Structure 1
Amino acid sequence: MADEKVGAVLVVGGGVAGIQAALDLADSGFKVYLVDESSSIGGVMAQLDKTFPTNDCSMCILAPKLVAAGRHPNISLITNSEVLGLTGEAGSFEVKIRKRSRYINEEKCNGCGLCAQKCPVEAVDAYNKGLTDRSAIYVEFPQAVPLRYKIDREKCIGCRTCQEVCKANAVEYDQKDSEITLKVGAVILAPGFEPFDARLKSEYGYGRYANVVTSIEFERILSASGPYGGIVLRPSDGEIPRKIAFVQCVGSRDAQLGNLYCSAACCMYSIKEAIIAKEHVPTKLDCTIFYMDIRAYGKEFDAYYMRAQEEYGIRFVRSRVASITEDPATGNLFVHYVGEDETPRVEEFDMVVLSTGMQPPKNVEKLAKALGIKLNKYKFCETGAFTPLETSKSGVFVCGAFSSPKDIPESVAQASGAAAKAMAIIAPERGKLVAVKEYPPERDVSQEEPRIGVFICHCGINIGGIVRVPEVVEYAKTLPNVVYAEDNLYTCSDDTQKRIKEKIKEYNLNRVVVASCTPRTHEPLFRETVREAGLNPYLFEMANIRDQCSWVHMHEPDEAT
């Protein structure tokens, strides 16, 4: 019945929009089921190096949200799953979900990674967009939440090495798919988008020329956790490029393909990638962006565009590139275009980055049929002009790029809006299905001598590319009352939170210092970790060595260190 409402919400999609909606709902007293077809949450944002226009580390923004969602008592993560059907009405839905087998017992797996180290099989690493290999048993990325492994049965040869080395006895080769049925009061759709397949623009040579890469592949090249450790290298020969071209609107605003829409974020992410590439390359790098129109419409976007030209010397050429050809001897690329003076030109580059647009997620029609919602002519979710968060079905809301292409800040804002819409339907049920988080007793340290643990973050190469982090660790060990110090690639990741708690127990720490990026986003995360370890959260301090050392002294490693 309509008056028998359920105080739970199903969120479909574990990207940044889905995570934000889930956290808003769970913090407001509602039970949340967060479903994602991948084996971990994070979405496309987990693959990015930086975000515009602040050039903040993408993982630094996302990781606290990943950890918060993973350990929230009122968020149940249902990964490696798909929605099969939805019945009922707003306030009281019943949803059927298929949970595909990982061939790993999620309750037993502790994410140690020994199985992946011993696995003799190599497969293409989708997270790094095929630029590296992974084993047949794997996690998507090092900071994955949940940190549970998965066996790729298409690549697995059945040698059972992983089963033999798994001390937790988590490998289950005979595990089957399962179906679960949930009762929820509302549904939020945030399945994100699919990058355009650049092979469909054959004139640009993607898939034929090794040094033509897509924007998401270039993000992985730029990333410290990527295939080249954050150094920009050509895929063909591992050389550092001297000239890179960025080609805009690949798969967007294209009448031949039928994609007449603008993908909204491509102009800005190309400018960002050009800026970051110049910072990551130790030698002189020339970047040229070939564009139709620059759509820098967001907060401080136009200032970012002007800064790219004036401060970084990035060249902008208003022209739609006709084709790209290759010199087979060198692997260099020739960009054919018509200049603004209408003169045909050919220019040589070491690499070309294709700024691919956004398309609806795969299997979107299957999802729409299961949920009973309508799609628009481009297969994005249909919404009203004045109701951008509402689908065609009452009680089912949408946020992020599934309704139309958009950037991260707009996706997150929509997520909070969709969460508020869902809350309005089931407001009387607030607090009825939630669990209260229990903490261990707080340790009395008033009579103890200070025992300080210091955790210093590389932040990819945000910090580690300038600050000599190992030297800082050794210096920290010499300071009074410091009994333990270590460095971490990403201190904000879920596995490092567990490690901090382990070290607090192992070394009987009663003070914790983290030297990493901004406390504006990270301090609550670390205070929660310290409290979970039995310490008062205010026995934690944070040093912002990213903003105040590595960014201030970007070209002065001695001063930064």
Structure 2
Amino acid sequence: MSAEPRIGVYVCHCGTNIAGFVDVTKVVEYAKALPYVVVARDYRYMCSDPGQRLIKEDIKTYSLNRIVIAACSPRLHEPTFRKVAEEAGLNPYLVEMANIREQDSWVHMDNPSEATEKAKDLVRMAVARAALLEPLEKVVVPVKKAALVIGGGIAGISAALDLAEAGYPVYLVEEKPSIGGHMAQLDKTFPTMDCSACILTPKMVEVSRHPNIKLKTYSEVVGVEGTVGSFKVKVLMKPRFVIEDKCTACGECAQACPVEVPNEFDMGLSWRKAIYIPFPQAVPNAYVLDLENCLGITPEACLKCKEVCEADAIDYDMQPKIEEIEVGTIIVATGYDTYNPVIDPEYGYGRYPNVLTSLEVERLLNAAGPTGGKLVRPSDGRPPKRIVYVQCVGSRNKNRNPYCSRVCCMYAVKQARQIKEKYPDAQVTIFYIDLRAFGKGYEEFYEAAQREYGVSFVRGRVSKIVEDPETHNLVVRAEDTLLGTPVEVEADMVVLSVGIAPSEGTRKIADILGLSKSPDGFLMEAHAKLRPVDTMIDGVFLCGTAQGPKDIPDSVA
């Protein structure tokens, strides 16, 4: 631009977010004296319609050819003010923003005078930069009309199906041998007590059959380059040592395999072979060879699975390979891990056989679980008559995770109800800090557990669990915070309601994509209210519990 800069400066109060700590009047007066500044004003909410009209009118009245907005982060409202400039006939790229909220007022609340001086400096720098701005024109670039969904739990499955149904090609990458995530381990879902597998399995099958979805299990994203509309993604495909298209899932290989190791899907409560299908409804429904536990294929030391495979699906020569794909957008649905209570010695988990986590009990209650749905004590295989639940294990604890995991209260109530349905004479006691029944129908579900099923609720944090080494019975020590008295409850089994923690996959993908994380370790959204599923990287979105603790409805919403 050859014309001399004519700059307008607009200082936003942002209610009291800025004006409560920065003297905006002084900043405006300071701005009026800066080079090339023709007009300077302040307004309570510059992003509001009246604030926007004020800017438009000044652009026309004072023939402004550049504007400076001193307000919040440009990541929040820069598009708003660029549109204002464009509507007033000014090139939208002749707008400069000075962040005097996140970078000033919010970090200098304890020193308003310093905040005001810093605001002046930020405005001065923005004005100097604005004087050098040149008009730019938008360029239309081709966009790759395909999406990558990272994570094959219920959130990733739902996202992939929604996109595929809209006509977009989708790559669904899952690090485990099967999609399904944690929901595949559940027996029932609260508050409707629907069969979890009955909801999930049809969606898993639909993913495998949908013409717009390319499913890549046992694979990991290891590199991403590019930008929105044109991401180049490297996917590491780990060798299954079983050819999926040939495998008939007959099970002969597993029967022949001499190796047994704890079954991760059943939380170590059952055994699987070195060659296995993760669970009966797995997708893809093909076996995978666990090389770490195999007797050895280099040099070949067993060969029993290959010898009995009539489909000739075993391939010991499979190697890891990298596949590069191009997509226009990425959805991160890397799920969660459950909190490991081993680090809390007061609960005795890992030392006392009858202290279990809630996910372990979930597998015991599942008809497809290691005991066929029977709740039994690991120590002697007998059904427990007295069961105690300990809430907020790994959650709402400043020494562990300070946040609420949101699902623990309701899944404890759900499991308590299941136990009472199977064993009406069982005594179920739940020690809680606060019962958080936040969802639709949750409060009624909780009340029904008390009224109709006779589940006992005691408000108090458990301090210690001790065991009788001969009987393996347990004593739970706690304080009843309503009565202000210590209590002891004898139990045959104690269930630790473990919280939700960021998954290892979430940590990895945050590093690969350069995503911001909140202090709790979950992935951070661009703005909690205005962009709740966007990340700070254009074209990358969040889904499910990669963002934080959520129940199933919120994960798929």
Q: TM-score range by the shorter chain?
A: 0.7 to 0.9
1:249 aligns with 2:392: yes
List, as ranges, runs of 4+ consecutive aligned residues in structure 1 with deviation greater than 4 Å: none
TM-score between the two structures when normalised by the length of structure 2:
0.73
- Equivalent in the alignment of 2:49: none
Equivalent residues of 1:389, 1:397 under 8 A apart: yes
Q: Which moved more, 1:169-178 or 1:188-197?
A: 169-178
* Structure 2 residue corresponding to 1:391, chosen from 535, 542, 554: 535
The question of whether the paired residues in 2 share the 8 Å contact of 1:222 and 1:280 is answered with no
Query: Match of 1:100, as an amino acid?
Result: K
Q: Please report how far the alpha carbon of residue 267 of structure 1 lies from its aligned counterpart in structure 2 after TM superposition.
A: 0.4
> Paired residue for 2:96?
none
Contact 1:206-1:213 at 8 Å conserved across structures? yes
1:450-478: per-residue Cα shift (whole Å, max 9, x none)? xxxxxxxxxxxxxxxxxxxxxxxxxxxxx
Aligned mates of 2:335, 2:282 — CA distance in 1: 18
Deviations 1:330-353 (A, max 9, x none): 111100011232222221101011
Residue 417 of structure 2 is matched in structure 1 by 275
1:73 aligns with 2:211: yes
Deviations 1:191-240 (CA, angstroms, capped at 9, x unpaired): 11000001011110110011100010000000001011001111111101
Shift of 1:366: 2.4
Contact 1:2 1:92 in 2 (8 A): no
| 1:468-523 per-position Cα deviation (integer Å, ceiling 9, x unaligned) | xxxxxxxxxxxxxxxxxxxxxxxxxxxxxxxxxxxxxxxxxxxxxxxxxxxxxxxx
Deviation at 1:108, TM superposition (A): 1.6
Check conservation: 1:289, 1:316, Cα contact below 8 A.
Answer: yes
Q: Which amino acid aligns with 1:316?
A: F
* Greater RCO, CA 8 A, separation 6+: 1
- Tell me the residue number matched to 1:358: 500
Name the SS of the counterpart of 1:256 in structure 2: coil
Whether 1:215 and 2:358 are equivalent positions in the alignment is yes
Deviation string for 1:343-387 (max 9, x for gaps)?
222211010110000000014332112112111111100112121
Q: Equivalences for 1:88-487 in 2 at 5 Å?
A: 88-158=226-296, 159-257=302-400, 259-281=401-423, 284-339=425-480, 340-383=482-525, 384-386=527-529, 387-413=531-557
1:526-541 to structure 2, matched below 5 A, reads none
Q: Following the alignment from structure 1 to structure 2, what is the Cα–Cα distance between the partners of residues 240 and 83?
A: 44
For structure 2, the 5+ residue unaligned runs are 1-138, 297-301
Q: Which amino acid aligns with 2:437?
A: A
Instruction: Give the number of aligned pairs.
Output: 411
Q: Percent of counterpart pairs with the same letter?
A: 51
Superposition pairs of residues 3-82 of structure 1, within 5 angstroms: 3-82=141-220
Counterpart for residue 434 of structure 1: none
Q: Report the AA paired with residue 78 of structure 1.
A: K
> Mind listing any 5+ residue stretches in structure 1 that lack a counterpart?
414-561
CA contact (8 A) 1:2 1:90 kept: no
Please state how far the C-alpha of 1:2 moved relative to its aligned partner: 5.8
Query: What's the secondary structure of 1:46's corresponding residue?
Result: helix
Secondary structure in 2 aligned to 1:264? coil
Kept after mapping to 1: 8 A contact 2:506/2:546: no
Alpha-carbon distance in structure 2 between the residues aligned to 1:15 and 1:108? 25
In 1, the alpha carbon distance for the partners of 2:244 and 2:554 equals 34
- Shift in Å, 1:173: 1.3
Across the aligned residues of Structure 1 and Structure 2, the Cα RMSD in angstroms comes to 1.1
Superposition TM-score, scaled by structure 1 size: 0.72
Amino acid at match of 2:387: I
Flag the structure with larger Rg.
Answer: 2
2-structure distance, mates of 1:222, 1:365: 31
How many Å separate the matches in 2 of 1:70 and 1:122? 29
- Residue number in structure 2 paired with 1:454: none
C-alpha contact (below 8 Å) 1:119/1:135 kept by paired residues: yes
